[in-house]
């Protein structure tokens, strides 16, 4: 495949214009979108959307099935262990294990692919480029989505989220129940019931999304509806999580290269993340970031977070309230039950592998948990 000359940012050429261009020109190829370390793709065949892809763990098949309560975390852990052992695709492992019929899996895969496309309407500052030619041969469920259909649904979602943002300015908003119980039909969908149950006056929307394996968009809509009906309210004075984002630093990428050469992967990661957004048009920074992430992951597994070691809390979970854990930290800590090893926790997390390992490293340095050998298999 050959890269075409079309490239830019979504702030200069919106997604709707890009989709219309591909449709009207009857393009065959792939639109690639990059936002930080995340990458999503829309594959076209003769101007029709044929497939999509994403490296966002929240959009992986396992997370999608957890979100729709098709499988449990334990079942996903076991399936991913089988996948690692056999090299089979996760969908095939689930089919072979009898966890869902092929017809249902195909429907869910198609729906997951559509959700990836719609999520791009909420990206406003991503870079894009178009690659001409045949779409890649992948084990994917083929779609046949007309661009006009996608534009209508995408615009609806964008407008819906704008209304939500008027009341919930960010995912740091903390909600609590008002005491007015929702009617049964308001919680008839399992996800709606789970989201409502997770509201406790302390969890932020980000906390709730992590715990429910739910994307911010769909979770926010459900919570906002319950808020509008008087079943939820914003918790006055509740703890709010403010993402720590340092101001953009003007730093030469040569500094990061030097760190990578010395094997200082985590400091290089921190530096590259700070300069990433200001490195428009510089392909070197994303490449360096990928090298730093790969180096850190390898170092973590080899030295301080062996994949088969089991993390065990050093004190009861209830006593960690004073630690002011972030939503991501809280999610991982809640899985430290003594039966999950590092590899299993990484596999079921909606976070990227490198993010999970960096958080676990920080938690271990704070002595939140210790590592122990896995239990010996029972003998019969």
* Domain boundaries along the sequence of the chain: 2-155, 168-234, 253-304, 310-372
Q: Which residue has the higher pLDDT, 170 or 358?
A: 358
d(CA 318, CA 315): 8
Q: Which residue has the higher pLDDT, 2 or 126?
A: 126
Residue 294, pLDDT score: 93
Q: Does position 244 have pLDDT exceeding 50, yes or no?
A: no
Q: What is the mean pLDDT of residues 202-210?
A: 88
Q: Does position 195 have pLDDT exceeding 80, yes or no?
A: yes
The residue assigned the tokens 């009207």 is 24
d(CA 351, CA 332): 10
Q: Which CATH number fits domain 168-234: 1.20.58, 1.10.10, 1.10.760, 1.10.3470?
A: 1.10.10
Structure tokens at 200: 């406790």
pLDDT band at 280 (very low <50, low <70, confident <90, very high): low
Residue 234, pLDDT score: 92
pLDDT band at 198 (very low <50, low <70, confident <90, very high): very high
Residue 56, pLDDT score: 86
Of the ranges 20-24, 46-50, 93-97, 285-289, which one carries the lowest mean pLDDT score? 285-289
Q: Does position 143 have pLDDT exceeding 80, yes or no?
A: no
Q: Does position 239 have pLDDT exceeding 90, yes or no?
A: no
pLDDT band at 357 (very low <50, low <70, confident <90, very high): very high
d(CA 367, CA 375): 22
For residue 66, the 8-state DSSP code is: H
Contact (Cβ atoms closer than 8 angstroms) between residue 225 and residue 219: no
Residue 176, pLDDT score: 93
Spell 125-142 as b/e; 16+ CB within 10 A means b: ebbbebbeeebeeeebbe
Structure tokens at 76: 């996903």
Of the ranges 134-138, 161-165, 206-210, 226-230, which one carries the lowest mean pLDDT score? 134-138
Contact (Cβ atoms closer than 8 angstroms) between residue 119 and residue 59: yes
Q: What is the mean pLDDT of residues 86-110?
A: 88
d(CA 343, CA 307): 5
Residue 251, pLDDT score: 40
pLDDT, the chain, mean = 84
Q: Does position 243 have pLDDT exceeding 50, yes or no?
A: no
Q: Does position 308 have pLDDT exceeding 90, yes or no?
A: yes
Q: What percent of the chain has pLDDT over 90?
A: 33
Give the strand pairing for 48-54 and 38-45: antiparallel
């Amino acid at each position: 495949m050959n890269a075409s000359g079309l490239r830019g940012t979504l702030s200069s050429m919106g997604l709707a214009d890009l989709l219309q261009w591909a449709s009207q020109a009857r393009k065959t190829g792939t639109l690639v979108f990059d936002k930080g370390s995340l990458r999503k793709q829309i594959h076209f065949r003769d101007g029709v959307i044929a497939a999509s892809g994403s490296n966002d763990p929240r959009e992986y098949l396992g997370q999608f099935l957890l979100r729709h309560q098709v499988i449990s975390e334990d079942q996903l852990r076991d399936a991913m262990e089988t996948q690692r052992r056999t090299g089979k695709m996760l969908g095939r492992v689930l089919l072979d294990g009898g966890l869902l019929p092929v017809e249902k899996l195909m429907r869910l895969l198609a729906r997951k692919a559509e959700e990836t496309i719609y999520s791009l309407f909420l990206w406003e500052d991503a870079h894009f480029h178009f690659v001409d030619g045949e779409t890649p041969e992948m084990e994917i469920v083929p779609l046949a989505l007309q661009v006009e259909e996608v534009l209508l649904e995408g615009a609806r979602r964008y407008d819906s989220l704008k209304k939500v943002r008027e009341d919930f300015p960010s995912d740091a908003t903390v909600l609590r129940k008002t005491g007015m119980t929702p009617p049964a039909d308001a919680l008839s969908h399992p996800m709606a019931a789970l989201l409502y149950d997770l509201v406790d006056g302390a969890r932020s929307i980000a906390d709730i999304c992590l715990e429910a394996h739910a994307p911010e968009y769909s979770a926010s809509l459900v919570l906002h509806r319950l808020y509008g009906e008087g079943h939820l309210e914003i918790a006055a004075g509740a703890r709010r999580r403010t993402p720590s984002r340092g101001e953009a630093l003007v730093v030469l990428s040569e500094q990061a290269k030097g760190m990578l050469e010395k094997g200082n992967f985590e400091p290089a990661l921190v530096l590259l993340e700070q300069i990433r957004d200001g490195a428009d048009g510089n392909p070197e920074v994303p490449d360096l970031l990928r090298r730093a992430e790969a180096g850190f992951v390898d170092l973590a597994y080899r030295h301080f977070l062996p994949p088969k070691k089991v993390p065990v809390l050093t004190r009861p979970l209830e006593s960690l309230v004073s630690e002011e854990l972030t939503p991501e930290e809280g999610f991982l800590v809640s899985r430290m039950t003594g039966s999950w090893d590092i590899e299993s926790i990484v596999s079921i997390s909606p976070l990227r592998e490198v993010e999970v390992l960096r958080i676990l490293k920080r938690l271990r340095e704070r002595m939140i948990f210790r590592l122990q050998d896995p239990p010996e298999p029972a003998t019969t």
